[in-house]
């Protein structure tokens, strides 16, 4: 495809208006939204208002005057249509790892007599660390890891919870959420999904697929800023069954009574622990506003088109030099493409030097995360062109590109 043909696709794109909501560096092609979303133009003003007018002007009265106290649920309501859930099933709280611990521990406790947490070999490391830590807290508990294709068949009567990242962080492979949820339910187990690499980039329907539990971060495709708060999803029927393993005063039924004994708040509020970070919530609020007026079906369609175009263009232009390291079928792919190359790190550094910003995962994967809100079809063409030129000229073979850095 020529650049002109890609620009015609961009002109007809029903999501083209959303790109104007972001402050993107001139000339850059940003394909790392699966690590850190781009900055919405509204974020700086939102944080400034929260700091200067609210905190600075009204001090502690802001908890009520500016509704800080309800921010975890009020902002969660904006997330609900993006992931196919009801507002009363969601809460903004903590980090993804903390939320995962809370829900995984609650799921295990809700299935007494079962001793297995089932996950995928190669799941996101922090998810594995949380589960491993849980087995040290409860020695009778074990973590079982199987290949992605074997998950459903491995669920049995000893499985307490199945915990998976919906879109694999390395390959971009997407699990069949509905099928795994059904298999878990048939076996009496609970399903727990990490949506960090899918929320905001592809269509989700947590209620429609009978999802039990889910967590996800706010700083990738949701554009909430570095270290943005995470979210918690607990299906309505489970809210009276599960108990938080990490109670705190903000999750108390009457927090300002300061009672000595804990009594859980009703519904999702029990999953709060400590005081929410209001400044971080303000940034996430602005990030979620970037989805206003956006149809999730259009996000899904554009994600498939962008990633499919990029795969085709790279393979046509680069031949067999790079190997696709993820799904070719868009139905089993998130909004991410991974290519393997022995010197993938150096190639990615060379791309970044040319303004094509993706990232790398050892030992050889170059990752390209396409954010449908702001990435264009022309971006896919330019990235493929630059990648082909770097490989053809071996311009990656320079000391400045070969030297490893701590963060890429």
Active site residues: 124, 194, 219-220, 367
Residues, the chain: 408
Cα–Cα nearest to 171, from 217, 123, 129: 123
DSSP string, 329-366: SGGGB-SEEEEE-TTHHHHHHHHHHTTEE-EEETTTEE
Measured over the CA atoms of residue 296, residue 302, residue 304 and residue 307, the dihedral's sign is negative
CA contacts within 13 A on the Cβ side of 67 = 7
Q: What is the DSSP string of 122-177?
A: T--HHHHHHHHHHHHHSTT-EEEEE-GGGHHHH--TTEEEEEEESB-TTT-BB--H
Comparing CA positions, the residue from 101, 100, 94 lying closest to residue 276 is: 94
Residue 338, φ and ψ in degrees, nearest 5: -120, 130
Structure-derived torsion over alpha carbons of residues 347, 351, 356, 362, reported in degrees to the nearest 10: 30
Alpha carbons 20 and 22: distance in angstroms, whole number: 5
Q: 103 near 232, Cβ under 8 Å?
A: yes
Look-up of token digits 């999730």: 296
Which residues, in sequence order, are CB contacts of 256 under 8 Å at separation 6+?
none
Q: What is the edge-to-edge ordering of all strands in the sheet holding 116-120?
A: 90-92, 231-234, 213-216, 190-194, 159-165, 116-120, 142-146
CA distance 294 to 373: 9
Whether 213 contacts 234, CB under 8 Å? yes
Other beta carbons within 10 angstroms of residue 179's beta carbon come to 12
d(CA 354, CA 215): 35
């Amino acid at each position: 495809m020529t650049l002109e043909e890609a620009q015609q696709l961009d002109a007809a794109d029903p999501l083209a208006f959303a790109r104007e909501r972001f402050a993107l560096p001139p000339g850059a092609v940003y394909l790392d939204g699966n690590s850190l979303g781009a900055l919405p133009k509204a974020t700086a003003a939102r944080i400034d208002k929260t700091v200067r007018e609210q905190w600075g002007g009204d001090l502690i009265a802001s908890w009520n005057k500016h509704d800080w106290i309800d921010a975890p649920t009020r902002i969660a309501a904006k997330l609900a249509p993006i992931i196919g859930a009801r507002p009363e099933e969601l809460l903004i709280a903590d980090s993804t790892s903390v939320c995962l611990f809370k829900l995984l521990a609650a799921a295990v406790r809700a299935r007494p007599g079962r001793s297995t947490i089932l996950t995928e070999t190669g799941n996101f490391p922090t998810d594995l660390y949380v589960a491993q830590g849980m087995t040290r807290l409860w020695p009778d508990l074990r973590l079982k890891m199987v290949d992605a294709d074997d998950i459903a068949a491995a669920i049995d009567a000893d499985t307490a919870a199945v915990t998976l990242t919906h879109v694999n962080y390395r390959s971009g492979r997407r699990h069949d959420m509905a099928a795994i949820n059904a298999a878990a339910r048939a076996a009496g187990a609970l399903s727990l999904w990490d949506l960090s690499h899918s929320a905001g980039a592809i269509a989700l329907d947590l209620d429609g697929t009978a999802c039990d539990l889910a967590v996800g971060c706010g700083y990738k495709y949701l554009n909430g800023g570095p270290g943005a708060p995470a979210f918690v999803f607990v299906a309505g029927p489970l809210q009276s069954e599960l108990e938080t393993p990490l109670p705190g005063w903000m999750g108390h039924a009457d927090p300002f009574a300061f009672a000595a004994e804990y009594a859980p708040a009703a519904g999702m509020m029990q999953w709060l622990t400590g005081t929410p970070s209001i400044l971080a919530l303000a940034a996430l609020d602005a990030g979620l506003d970037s989805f206003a007026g956006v149809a999730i079906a259009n996000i899904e369609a554009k994600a498939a088109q962008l990633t499919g175009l990029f795969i085709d263009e790279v393979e046509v232009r680069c031949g067999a030099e790079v190997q696709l390291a993820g799904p070719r079928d868009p139905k089993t792919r998130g909004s991410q493409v991974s290519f393997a190359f022995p010197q993938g790190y150096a190639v990615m550094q060379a791309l970044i030097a040319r303004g094509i910003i993706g990232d790398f995962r050892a030992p050889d994967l170059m990752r390209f995360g396409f954010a449908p809100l702001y990435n264009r079809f022309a971006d896919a063409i330019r990235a493929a062109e630059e990648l082909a030129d770097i490989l053809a000229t071996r311009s990656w073979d320079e000391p400045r590109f070969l030297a490893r850095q701590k963060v890429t």
